[in-house]
Amino acid sequence: MRVLVVGHGPVARVLATSLADSHRVGFAVRERTEDSLLVSTSRLRIARPARRAEQRRVALTTAGEPGWDLVISTASPASPGVAELLGQAAVVAAVTQVPSEVELLRELAGDRPWGLAVPGFCAGGADPAWWWSPARVRFTVAGPASARLRSLFARPGWSRAAPLAAPLVSAATTMPVVAGLHAADFDLKAARRSARQLAVAATQARAVVAAGFGGPSPRPVRPRAVLAALAVLPPLAPFDVPDYLRRHFGGHGPQTVRMLRDWVGLGRRHGLPTGELEELLQQVPA
């Protein structure tokens, strides 16, 4: 199968090196300066050295080149030019967990199979090292095309299938906390002082996403869980947590704001409370 990956950042690179060798993989680029790119990634584990790097050679292709069987976008489906790329394949997918972007992907797909391939890790760097994938799972796949997406990976354990609501509820658990960190300029101590409010915001976000995407009613997020995550993650992680959060999420303020707006909109549509989400929305810089 010919698989086109839109974007070539850390998530795109882990995705490319996770796919089976039988697939031809390409990165979409605006201007091709070479024919191919050797992509390398490695995984870091707590108290263990990095695993051997995984590599593959990836074709570089401009937007106008047709013939791809499946397109996976690591950029927002709303980004300029992405809709055109998604229109070229029989199967389309994205890594997004933003509700409005999921709806746009479904709209762009029309009658074609579509799905999500959501990363279960943190990754950074030009030659990315990645962390925190539970067991060996690298991506959670969901949506009508989930079976086809799972078939792409080199090993079955590198992906898992889930209902469509599941990865969106997962994001609704963590991203309100990230929004709180963003509002506190990624000061973990300041964010811990807001643990109760952030837990309520996450609870509201989980409830509205479940209502909007057909998931079961989720359990509330406890303030102690938020406190524990903010206190335990920094000493355990094999990287500088505040620096990573500031570099990664600090540059994605508009996406965080979009998620907050989507959750507020879903809450109003389904008659669910969104007060803490609305307060966060006023605090996060776009």
Q: pLDDT band for 128, please (50, 70, 90 cuts).
A: low
Is 70 exceeded by the pLDDT of residue 126? no
Instruction: Look at 46 and 202; give whichever has higher pLDDT.
Output: 202
Angle between helices 195-213 and 165-183 (to 10 degrees): 150
pLDDT value, residue 249? 80
CA–CA gap between residue 192 and residue 209 (Å, rounded)? 25
Residue 251 parent element (H or E): none
pLDDT value, residue 184? 92
Residue 90: closest CA among 53, 36, 41, 144: 144
Q: pLDDT band for 31, please (50, 70, 90 cuts).
A: confident
Top-ranked range on mean pLDDT: pick from 124-138, 174-188, 227-241: 174-188
Of 16-30, 92-106, 116-130, 270-284, which range is least confident? 116-130
pTM: 0.92
Across the chain, the runs of DSSP E, i.e. the strands, are: 2-6, 24-29, 36-43, 54-62, 70-73, 91-94, 114-119, 122-124, 129-131, 139-142, 159-161
β-bridge mates for residue 146, sequence order: none
pLDDT digits (tens, 9 = 90+) for 254-271: 889 999 999 999 999 999
